[in-house]
Each structure stands twice: as structure tokens, then as C-alpha cells.
Structure 1
Amino acid sequence: MAAGPHHTDMEFLMAEHGEGTWVTVFEHIGDLRSGRQGALYCALADKDVSARAMADYGWDVQIGTDAPGFVTSYSGGEETSTYYPRSADPFQRLVYQRTFHGRKDGYIELCEEFRLLHNLYFDAKANQYITFDEAGDEVVVVKLSADRVEVRRSYLRSFMAATQRDLLLYFEFTHHFNDPVDPIESVASDTLRAEVYSGGAYVAGYKYFVRIVGKKRLLAAPLHECGIAPFEKAKRFEAFLIGGDDDAPILHTSDPATLRDYFGGNPDAPHYLTPVFFRMEVMKKYYGSSDYEIEDGRLSRKGAWSLRLDNNAPGHVSVFLGDLGRELPSKEQLYWKSFNIVPDGRTMSHANFARSFLGQFHESENPAHLFKQKFTRLNKRWAERAGWELFLPLADKDRHFFDDIRSLLTNEQAEFDALILCLAKTTIDSLNVKGIRKSVEGGETDKSIALLGQLLARLNVPDAEAYVTLLHGVQTVRSTGVAHRKGTDYEKAVARYGIDANDYAEAFNAILLQFVRLFDALLDDLGE
């Protein structure tokens, strides 16, 4: 006789069920015609109840709904009906199979207590429940289908520990055969009851059957291991480069509790405000997603975390050592660590020094910050004064062109091209041609740059021609090198407007600062 699939089922129950990353807590398996059928289900119970339940192999609950309702009792000849929010049995279902007797399609529901404890969001499109980790990343916790429910083991164990209830995993596998197979023994222990039956098949076309039915008990961990406030796991702090060089680096943990402060704490340790330096590329991840907001001196992820940083100095980003530990989640610290560089003469920006140590207001030194601040202020003041916006607002799907404007993180052609496009979309393509034409006598042209030039001349803006040349330059570089295949026209345009192909970062910063001067000139005309 040979081993059959029931051997595999028993091995699964003993070694794998409930132990992997995903735990199947509900499943309908096969059908009679396939020769294999069965089901998996589960229930939660207090420790004493779950221990008693292991005295036999029978299921303590049936697949279905533990619905609220009335229980009628009799005492002294009198009938009393009492409402119960759930059945009186001590077993709590994690999964409910809702049915509507053919009037509507049934569906699967998840225990409300589990959903609320982990603050799960139902993604209807993917048919799964998700939550967010400390870094704000999505975590799939439950995967649903019509015949199967899987729960991420770590969240299931967390729920068990928090409620101090064990989990009983019920199972039933039935296989039908035509050839005799090796028998297997039943199992009876405190954590697994698996009863094995066999005999003549009761399904047409088969001679034999083997059935395994029972339950497996997963024990709840102690309460303090649930990982839910106030029992969160201890935060992991990364060590960062604070001195030395590549051959002899000096690192120190970012744990704020270990750092020197202004009150005498940890006098022999580096100070909380020790600057730690990173390559500019560390910001690429955040500029590439609308989930993050980057401001002058701050990076934040919506609804998750916020980090104070110095993004004003050219060539690098810096963060205080203590802020890295206090404000960044552990997995984000790992990401930042991969961009960590030795100080090697680098310093924080004047703006950050004034703000952090002198308590002074200091305007940003980052050309991109200045561009956005002045652009926004100008458009607001212009609308208040003239009754129309100088630059039309971008459509929602184009808003990223403004948000993505920044100093280059690398010196690569592709990034320069992308930012030139962002700049052109935000400024040249957004000029309010109708509004400008109405304010300029004889403004009949439809060319936005020419109209702006006429407006600047009417306002007697100094260096008006230089600003028109600036806009023509951006438009030309965009049209010859970004919107179309690059060729000799692009090379000529780059040379004509003084763009150094060996230093795109400096060239783009220079362009941004020219726009800032244009905005300042117009704000001066408005009396700002």
C-alpha cells in the first residue's frame, strides 16, 4: 500500500497549520465529486475553555453566524425571554459566513473586535483588510475570497495575546480512493486532536475513504507580548556616522535616551543636536510619492510621521542625531542609514543654524523653496489686487508638476529634463493669457511669453527683457530636449542660455533663482 494525501494533511496539521506567515481560518475544500472535501474553521476561547475543548475531537462551533437574539427560559411556570448580543456559548467566531437563503448572495464577515483593535481598512477592490505600520506603509492583514480567509499570523497572535484567548483551529479532511492506502494513527494531545476514520467509500466511483477531523489549539502569548499600546515592542535605533572618515568611521546610536542634552544628561555622549549628513538622493523616494510632504525644514508622511531636517544646504541633507531616533520609525532609519555620509567638513545651512540655535527667523536658502514660496505669494497678492490670477491653478492631476519642483538630487540629464518640464508647466503653460491681454493695451498676441513681456514693460519692471529671455530659454530647452528628441537645436539652446551640461544641478538652481527675482520684482510692484 502507498501513502495517500491524508498523510500530507496530517503532516500539514502537525507542522504547518497556524505556524506560517498566513493562517487559514476558514476554507471550504473540494467537493464529493473530486474525491476530496473538507473544511477549516476557527474560534477563540478563554484558556480554561480551550483546554477543556481539547478533551475530544469534535468541533465546538459550526460554520455560520453567531447572531444575536433571544433565549427563552422557564422558571416557576413563567416564560422569560432574554436578549443576548451573541450566543451564550463561550466560543468567539473570528469569521462569519453570512447567508440570505438565496434572496441575496452571501458573503464573509470578519469579527468586529478584531477589525477595530487593529484599525483595519477594507480594500473592496482587492477584497482584503489592510492596516498601516509605524512608517505608514500598507500591511495586508486579512485576505478574503468566497471560500477562504487567511489572516497574517503576527496580527492574529497579537489579538490572541490582547484578549488572552486561545485559538482553536478546526479541520475536517475526507479523501476517497480506489486503491488501498497506508493507514495513519489518530493524534491526541493538549494542542492537537486529530481523529482518523476509514472504511468503504460512500461516493460513487470510489472504494475507500479516510477522514481526519479535529482541532488544533494555538496558545495565547502573555498580555505584554501583544504589541499594542501600552505594550508596544521596544523601538529599534540605528547607529549613524557622526565623525571620522570612510576608513575609520565614528558611529553612535540615535536613541535619544543615550544622548547628551542641555540638562546634564549623558555628559560623555554626543549631543542630541549633533548633525548627521546624508546624500541628496535620500530625498528621491519622498519626491516620487504624493504620500509625502516636503517643506522648508520638514519632511512628513501623511498620518504617520514627521521629521525636522535641514534641506537648505547645497549638496547634502542633514538631520540632528536625536531627531533621527525620536522622529523616524525604525524601518525609515534603515533607509536613511543607506545614504549616510561622514561629515568631512560639511556643515548645516545658515538658515538651520539660525532657526535651531539662535531662535531666529531665517528665509530659506534653497532655490526651490524660495521659488515655491514667492510663486504662491505672488499669485495670491496678484489675485487680491488685480482680481485675476497671474498664473492659472494647475488641474488636480497636474498638481505634481508644482510639487516636484526642487533642486536636483543628482546631476543626471533625466532629472534635469523632468524638472524643466515641471517648471514650464507651472509657469509658462499656466500664464493667464486672457487676464494679461486685458491689462495690456494693444495686447493682441496669443503668445504667453510675449504678453508677459508687454506686461513687465508696462509695469516698468527692471530687467524685463532678461526675464523674457529666461522664459524663452526654459520654453526652448523644454521643446527641443524634453518634448521632442534631442538634437542640434537642443545643444544650441543649452549653449545659448548658459546651461552647463557638466553641472545641471547648479544650472537649474540658477534658473530657479532668476524666477525668484522675477517674482520679487512683481511683488515690489504690488507693494510687498
Structure 2
Amino acid sequence: MAKLDPQSLDYLLQTDVLEDLIPRVGREQWQSLFVSRNDELGRFGLWCALIDDASVERVLSHYSWDLSIGDGKPGFSQSWPNGEPVIEYHPYGSGTGIRALVHRRSFYGVFSPYFEIDQEFRLYHDLAYDQKRGLLLAFDVSGREIEVVRISPERIEARLKYLRQYQAGTRQNLVIYVDSVRYSKLLFEDVGERRDSERNERVAWSRHVGACSFHNDFSTFSRVLFKIILRSPVIEKAGIWPFDEEGDEREVTFIIGVDENGENIEHTSSPDKLSNNFGANPEAPHYLTPVYFRREVLAKYFAEPDRYVISDGSLGCLELWHCQIDNDLETSVAVFLGDLGRDLPYEERLHWRQFNIPPEGEISETNFRRSFLAQFTDPSAVDLVFKEEYKRFAADWLKEIGWPFFLPLAPGDIHLADTIRIPVTNSQSEMDDQVLCLTKLLVDSLNEKEFARVGQPLADGAKGIAKLNAFFQASDFADRKAIVDFLKNLQLLRSTGSGHRKGSGYDKAIAKLDIDLKRKPEAFALLLDRGVAMLRALRVYYLDGEVTLD
């Protein structure tokens, strides 16, 4: 509301309440459901209730509140219509056609009072309660929080969209009540007593201005009572099944080819408008038409491993959605046109659309065998191969040898085994991140304690790679030099790159690893390939061979 001078006549007449607040009720993103404010200049209270259609006329026939704060709890009534007692249960309290949306829970001083939103509203929208922050939360198609209700001791407000959907589904009208009292030093002789009111099909309000005989510091006071009814929308606005919003049904087109002039050909990804193997839409592109994207499309998902999971042939978001992808290609990612429309939410389709490119080549052999021949096929992309080899080697080593070759990752690093990847961009920062990730997996996670126990004696202060080398020597591992050199150079690349300012040491590490950083994705792919070779060499000698460890 507009800020008025407490010494002005407008303040006493509460023109801001009548001319500013009333028109805004039900027309802003957040609707107050409870407000309690008291100071030396007056008090302001706002409350709410739900009423059925039959109660609208009765509610608007007077100006006082129909439901007090704290009312609306379940209970019984007893009557004697024919001289015999009749007991009736009232789930929403004794009021006819009226029920509470907000409950004030009080416990006679035994437990601190608090406010809560009616259970039906919470269940209707499947809201989570974050008690610490005082929030009721919904979640979007990617699992991100949507604040629906904000609760504090002085104010409760709800997002209007969710209120209106609930009204539509329950066929309830929302009533907002206000009781506003103000004190003024304006003399009663200058102001005079005033009583006015207004009532229509939406609003009923009354105002009384008079002498203030109950407050020595002020000469006059005013009181405004009003109630506004927000009628329930049509049931089609209920927002839940079968009246879900159609946001996900909005169509997004993708490039599926080029014409004779080299211009892009686009088509909707809506499955209902695609052909299939059962004769639907014979003139349209097939559901399984591959659509191609730059690899950068995956950066968003790699950046949030707690929310998204990218695995071999798959992209998923928590338990919300899942889409089959072909990430076994070297320079792009492919998805079937129909899967884009069926499996990805509208917002995600818009994200993918930004990275859409004309078709280049064919889908991967892996995807072809899985999708069309129903064959189980291992991936060929080196980052997918590395992740699979790393996890399988770690599990098999522990099972066969009895102690872990790689220590379990710390909770903050648990995602590394899933998110390590060929960089999707040519940026130095992404290259540094992936080098750091690979080093944590292959060097920092080495089980130094067991290597030192089984290996040859070492000088004091020997570190992880030295202990690993001693272990290799004790077990006569012939390929130890290649692996030890690779790990040392990888550690040097990390320590001189992401760990410190880049200089001659970084250039030395690059030269030793024999990689070209002009094309960073290819350079890191070489590092992953050597990591795969290391894991396979260890498997052949220690797990598949006849070597015996103490």
C-alpha cells in the first residue's frame, strides 16, 4: 500500500486501504492469507476463509468476519429437534458452508503456537514442508523448488496461481478479510464523525471515523472492515489431472535434414504427429528419425550431478523424467525425434533446440545395435568406456584381492565417477576440471596403506605413486613403468594446471603426456584412453593372471 503521512486526513480515512489494497487483492502473484501488525498508530489484521457458492450472499450481507483466527477445527454439534438429542460431526467447524484455509494451532501454553495450511491444500498440490525456512514447496519438471506458501509468525502468503487452481478443483470461493484500525492526532472537531460503506457482488466494506476516547495520546480513530470474495475459476483451471496444464504439450520443432538448397528442414517432435511402424501419419517423418546436437548440450546436466544423471545412452532427472540419448558419438549427441517430444519436458526441449544441428553421419553402432537389433552392446566412446572399466575394475579387485585398489570417494566427490567426461567445449576451465577429476580417481584415490603393506620397503615420506610402484615391483608387474609415468605426468598436469598458475611446469607436463591442447576434447580423450589401458593391464595381470598377493 502507499505510504501515507500519519498526520494526514487520508491516513485517518484509510484511503490507501480502500483505494489501493482492495483493488489489488487477487491480482498479484502473491496473495496474503494472514497478516498481523500492531504499533502505536494502530493495528492491521488480515485473514481468509473458503466458502461454497451457497454462502456467498450471506457472507456479503454484513461486514464482520465469518471465521475468526483459530476457528475451523473439527468438532460436534448437538441439537434437540424433536426432543431427542441429535449429534452431528463437522469436519470444518461449526460454520455452515465455510472452512479454514489457514489454521492457528495453539496448545494452552504447553507448546508454542504456530500456523499451518490446511492439509487438503498441501496434499492437493503435493507440497513439501520446509519447516526451517517456513516454506511449502512444489517442484518443477526438473526438480527445482517453487515456493508456493511462505509462513512466518506475522504473515502468510501464497502464490496466487496455486490458490486459484485449488479453488477451481474444490469449487470453493476464497474470502479475504481485513480489520484495520488507525489512531490520529487530528482533532475530532476538524474531522467529524463519519460512517460509510459499500457492497457489491465482490466486495463489502465499512468505515467508521470517530472520537478516540480510549487512547489518551490520540484524538480520533478509524476502523475499516472489508471482505473480498475471489470466486472459484472454472474446473478446467484445476491444474492437476485430468486438468493438467498443457505446457509440456507445446510443440518444439527440430532440424531433421536439409533440402536441395541446403536449407534446414524442421519438424515437430510431437509423437502424435510422427509416423511409426503401425501406420500412423505415413507422410510425416518417423518417430525414430535421429536428431543431432552439439555436445555442449550436455554441459548443463554435467554441472548438476545431484539433479541429473548422464550414463551410457541415457539422461535422467531425479525420478522426474528420463530420455534415451546417443552419447557414443565423437562430436555430437543424437536423440530420436519422437523421444524428444515424448520424454523431455517443454523447457528441456527448448534447451536442446539451442544446440540443434543438421544431421552429420549416422547414429553410433552402439545405438543402432541396441535400438534396432535389440542387442546388448558395450559403448565405444572412451569416456563411457572409462567409467565402466573404472567401476568394474574397482569392484572386481575388491572381490578378488580382498582390499580396494582405489579408496571410496569422499561424499563431496562421489559424483566424479559418473560425471568424468570428454569436455563438451574447448574451454581451458572445463579441461582443468576434468584433469582434476581424473587425477582424483586415479591418483588421489590410490590405497597407499595396502600398497605399502604389500610392496617393497620405502623411504620415509614416500607418497601414493611411489607406494604403488613398490607394490608393482614386489609383484613383478612388467608394465609398471608406463603406468607410473602416466600417473606422475597426470599429477604434474593437475598440480601445474588447475592447482597453480600455469607456467613452464604445465608445458612440461603437456609435452610428457604428448597431448595437443589446441583441441582439448581430443587431448583429454587420449588421457582417458590411457586410463582405460592402465585399468585393463592391471586386470589382465592381477585379476585374470596367476599372480598371488599376500
Deviation of 1:77 after TM superposition, in Å, equals 5.4
Residues 167 and 173 in structure 2, CA contact (< 8 A), matched pair in contact too:
yes
Amino acid in the other structure paired with 2:274: L
| Contact 1:174–1:212 (8 Å) recurs in 2 | yes
Matched, 1:249 2:264: yes
- Provide the residue aligned with 1:166 in structure 2: 173
Residue 202 of structure 2 corresponds to residue 191 of structure 1? yes
**1:102-501 counterparts in 2 under 5 A?**
102-179=109-186, 186-202=197-213, 203-234=215-246, 235-244=249-258, 248-289=263-304, 290-343=306-359, 345-442=360-457, 446-456=462-472, 463-501=479-517
Q: How many matched pairs?
A: 525
Q: Is the 8 A contact 2:366 2:377 kept in 1?
A: yes
| 1:17-36: CA deviation from partner (whole Å, max 9, x where unpaired) | 121111101111334x2x23
C-alpha distance in 1, partners of 2:262/2:337? 21
Q: Which amino acid aligns with 2:448?
A: V
Q: Within 2, Cα distance between the matches of 1:307 and 1:460? A: 47
Other-structure match for 2:4: none
Q: Percent identity?
A: 37
Deviation string 1:56-106 (CA, Å, 9 cap, x unpaired) is: 222111111422334333466555655544413121101112223334321
Query: What letter corresponds to residue 439 of structure 2 in structure 1?
Result: A
With over 3 angstroms needed to count, the CA separation of the structure-2 counterparts of 1:177 and 1:329, relative to structure 1, is same
User: How much has 1:170 moved relative to structure 2?
Assistant: 1.1
SS in 1 for 2:174: strand
For the Cα contact (< 8 Å) 1:187–1:195, is it kept in 2? Answer: yes
Partner of 2:5: none
What displacement does 1:340 show? Answer: 2.0
Structure 1 residue 302, shift from structure 2 partner = 0.9
Structure 1 contact 164–223 (Cα < 8 Å) conserved:
yes
**3-state SS of paired residue (1:502):** helix
Tell me how far apart the structure 2 counterparts of residues 462 and 255 of structure 1 sit (CA, whole Å): 57
Instruction: Tell me if the contact between 1:461 and 1:521 (Cα under 8 Å) persists in the aligned partners.
Output: no
Q: TM-score, normalised by structure 2?
A: 0.89
Q: Distance in 1 between matches of 2:119 and 2:125?
A: 10
Q: Which amino acid aligns with 1:370?
A: V
Q: Note the alpha carbon deviations across 1:261-305, whole angstroms, 9 max, x for none.
A: 111111111111122222222211211111111111111111211
Instruction: Mark the CA change 1:136 to 1:341 in structure 2 (over 3 Å): closer, same or farther.
Output: same
CA distance in 2, matches of 1:195, 1:253: 57
Aligned mates of 1:355, 1:196 — CA distance in 2: 75
Q: TM-score, normalised by structure 1?
A: 0.93
Q: CA deviation at 1:370?
A: 1.0
The answer (yes or no) to whether the contact 1:437–1:444 under 8 Å persists in 2 is: no
Q: Which amino acid aligns with 1:105?
A: S
Tell me the SS of whatever aligns to 2:228.
Answer: strand
Per the TM alignment, residue 141 of structure 1 is displaced from its structure 2 partner at its CA by 0.4
**Aligned partners of 1:65 and 1:98 also within 8 Å:** no
* Unpaired segments ≥5 residues, structure 2: 1-7, 546-550
Work out whether 1:24 is the aligned partner of 2:39. no
| Aligned residues: CA RMSD | 2.4
Partner Cα separation in structure 1 for residue 80 and residue 35 of structure 2 = 39
Q: Which amino acid aligns with 2:279?
A: G
Which residue identity does 1:527 align to in structure 2?
D
Distance 2:234 2:533 in 1: 64
Deviation of 1:527 (Å): 2.7
1:326 to 1:459, Cα distance in 2 relative to 1, 3 A: farther
Deviations 1:155-200 (A, max 9, x none): 1111111111111111122222334679895321111111122222
How far apart are 1:112 and its partner, in Å? 0.6
Write the distance in 2 (CA, Å) between the matches of 1:92 and 1:447: 70
How far off is 1:447 after superposition?
A: 3.2
Q: Does the 8 Å contact 2:456/2:471 carry over to 1?
A: no
Change (3 A) 1:12 1:303: farther
8 Å contact from structure 2 (residues 255, 267) kept in 1:
yes
Evaluate the alpha carbon distance shift between residue 44 and residue 379 of structure 1 in structure 2; reply closer, same or farther with a 3 A threshold.
same
Q: Which amino acid aligns with 2:508?
A: K
SS of the residue aligned with 2:517?
A: coil
**Could you tell me whether the CA contact under 8 Å between 2:49 and 2:99 is conserved in 1?**
yes
Q: Which residue of 1 aligns with 2:544?
A: 527
AA at the equivalent of 1:505: P
